[in-house]
Structure 1
């Protein structure tokens, strides 16, 4: 069993990160497997070495250091480029040139007639059909240096894999019996696969990294449950073996919202400075001290 914790070094870890890291480490060790760390530093502008050092210090303090040298996304850009090239060559990815402002205006205009569809995260679907520009025109604009993002042609991609898509979701806890979950990637529309400032989107990078590291169990927050449909589609398109998934409960603040760096969630380093011990963190998160994988599913 191989599990991984994959934080971005763009801020300090908080209790939500601690929960995910501990659940992954506990599951790997309970199964006699390995716990890996992946540093998702593909956003070079926001990634900082002091935050990466802080991640390692927090894991050391929690007594769950990874079993291998951490993998850094920034060292594997060629891997993502090769996957993008395959999708483009198959006609499944295309450059799109609309700015965020143009997209927002188009969505507002369409909302006047009827509510424009939203993805499972509540964001409006991309409102421009691929046929709005010919492939020849897209190639011309691209060759002239016009800014663009690469999007997945969802209709073609779904047609390419054919039939029903599903993934295996461990029930109850990360080592629980898996059950089949139907994947509906079309609900996400033509998702972005790469931008000028990011050589791969989360969707693409995560499936390539998990495959390269031979991750057997992807254990992550429930907020990524629906996105697994896109990941399962990309795995099918790229010939990657899917792992077993488990989407754990989220850790929320007093306001009921998921803890986040942007909302100023207290960092683990701050809690450590206040005198808390690793056992206190486990108790706060309703995690057993012995590293068992059984944990309450109801608390959010």
Structure 2
């Protein structure tokens, strides 16, 4: 669950869960439940509890990771791995691969939301107030993404150039924490939505720059998204697609899986996640379309 449990889970989350569980079973892999909770100001207990409630309600299994919110705090929280994040940041800084940046959100809005490297050569102090750390992506790298369809070659998109690895609050940013966590837990199959394609490329760039070869050997599966409207993806909310709302309306797990199948145009009945997962992988052509070989 990335980057923060900041809302109630919706049908799109369940769709991703089902794909993950199905792929794991077919690969003989274990499923790791990872909840990114570094941004403690946005984490709310009811959202964390909702993750466990939803997985139990739908009977979707996982083998590794926390079993309860208390277990998350006690053993699995990202806060327990903060020393690893800081160690990685210091290594990147020592290798002259980072720079400090004090650009405001308003300035980024003036550049269309794409960072232009404004602070790359300003040599701002690392510990100055309101400074984040960005990775120097000026050197182009050829990125090889392993997928079920084979290895795809790509380059870092403009939107991900000079991405943030340490936030202004001093904590590791999502891209760095995610790569470190995957390496720490030995993750070698990652299932995520196609909207995170750019993030995957940023993480592959970071891993290559940091010499984390194991991450480069990871297989990625980017799936299509469930859409609220043709141009709007589902969001975490208490709306009609939130599993919590559906449960309050008396819907069963079979109703939830049927709703997902219906949104994808699948007419076959799916009473459980195993059946839905099989339909998704075997009969839904959009999921079998290869992602672009160049980006």
8 A Cα contact 2:99 2:119, kept in partner: no
Q: Does 1:125 align with 2:111?
A: no
Q: Does 1:167 align with 2:163?
A: no
Q: RMSD across aligned C-alpha pairs, in angstroms?
A: 2.3
Q: How does 1:66-215 map to 2 (within 5 A)?
A: 66-70=62-66, 71-105=76-110, 107=111, 123-131=113-121, 133=122, 135=123, 138-139=124-125, 142-143=126-127, 145-156=128-139, 158=140, 164-170=142-148, 178-185=149-156, 187=158, 188-197=160-169, 199-215=171-187
Q: Does 1:260 align with 2:235?
A: yes
1:294 match: 282
Secondary structure of the corresponding residue to residue 166 of structure 1: strand
1:110 match: none
> Residues 272 and 213 from structure 1, CA distance in 2 versus in 1: closer, same or farther, beyond 3 angstroms?
same
Give me the whole-angstrom Cα distance separating, in 1, the residues matched to 2:9 and 2:84: 27
Unaligned runs of 5+ in 2: 67-75, 288-295
Higher RCO (CA 8 Å, separation ≥ 6 residues)? 1
Name which of structure 1's ranges 206-215 and 244-253 shifts more when overlaid on structure 2.
206-215
Q: How does 1:211-250 map to 2 (within 5 A)?
A: 211-240=183-212, 241=214, 242=216, 243-250=218-225
Spell out, residue by residue over 1:48-91, the C-alpha distance to the aligned partner (whole angstroms, 9 max, x if none). 22211110010001111321233322321111111111111100
Question: TM-score, structure 2 length as denominator?
Answer: 0.80
Q: Does 1:285 align with 2:290?
A: no
Shift in Å, 1:125: 2.8
Give me the whole-angstrom Cα distance separating, in 1, the residues matched to 2:169 and 2:86: 14
Give me the whole-angstrom Cα distance separating, in 2, the residues matched to 1:96 and 1:260: 30
Spell out, residue by residue over 1:100-120, the C-alpha distance to the aligned partner (whole angstroms, 9 max, x if none). 223434x2xxxxxxxxxx6xx
1:276 match: 251
Shift in Å, 1:36: 1.3
8 A Cα contact 1:194 1:201, kept in partner: yes
Secondary structure of the corresponding residue to residue 219 of structure 1: strand
Give me the whole-angstrom Cα distance separating, in 2, the residues matched to 1:186 and 1:151: 16
Give me the whole-angstrom Cα distance separating, in 1, the residues matched to 2:210 and 2:244: 40
Give me the whole-angstrom Cα distance separating, in 1, the residues matched to 2:283 and 2:94: 46
Name which of structure 1's ranges 37-46 and 197-206 shifts more when overlaid on structure 2.
197-206
Shift in Å, 1:205: 1.4
8 A Cα contact 1:149 1:195, kept in partner: yes
Name which of structure 1's ranges 213-222 and 189-198 shifts more when overlaid on structure 2.
189-198
Shift in Å, 1:276: 1.8
